[in-house]
Amino acid sequence: MAINLSVNLNKVALLRNSRGAHNPSPHVAGVTCLDAGAYGLTLHWRADNRHTREDDVRDLRALCAARGAEFNLEGDARPELVALADELAVTQFTLVPVRPGEITSDHGWDLPRDHDVVAPIIDRLEARGVRTAIFVDANPGMMKAAAATGVSRVEIYTEPFASAWGTPRLKTELDLVKRTAESAVEHGLAVNCGHDLNLRNTPLLAREVPEIVEASIGHALIADALYIGLAEAVRRYVRACRGDAVDAPVTL
């Protein structure tokens, strides 16, 4: 069963913001991604507005609704973000812990310690009809506590798996992701994944962890798009999410 590809467009917004105008446009990029076969679009709206902004969230939510595609909004527990997810009835809200000063997300929720932060948000949005997910480290023993929050899905943080590529640690990290996904399903949760996935490591994950239903991929896909074009990059990532071996434009 193929993994559904949700393209994270934060890096397009970051490039736009660096010039202070409207180009490149996350909206135009979103249309291109959906036309090329992406299942949905993802934005992570941070409090500092360093890439995605509130108007991007509103715009791409409307685009996905018009196209019958899924829209995944990511972010922390701050009230204005949760309120926006509620107002727009986004398809999915992925709750991600944020550490001050971090460059990108680098850890999952600590459950059950963070239960009282996570559970009320999950309850509010699930009541609104929004599918919820929480960002978690690959830890099969935590899935019971994750399920206790009332969430629908977990998103497994895959950076340790990705960073192990080409090293003896790869088998260990892949097995950890696999056991976490299996434990999540055993506790009634669906499984997403994301972080540092690319054309080299995604096919292995798709083949070895059939429990994964969705992957959010942004940085590597947009980087590949610089070499082969956005539409072609999306087409290759869709194939990678089916488990197919795909040529990567750059080998690092």
CA 36 to chain centre: 18
Q: Which residues are the active-site residues?
A: 44, 74, 195
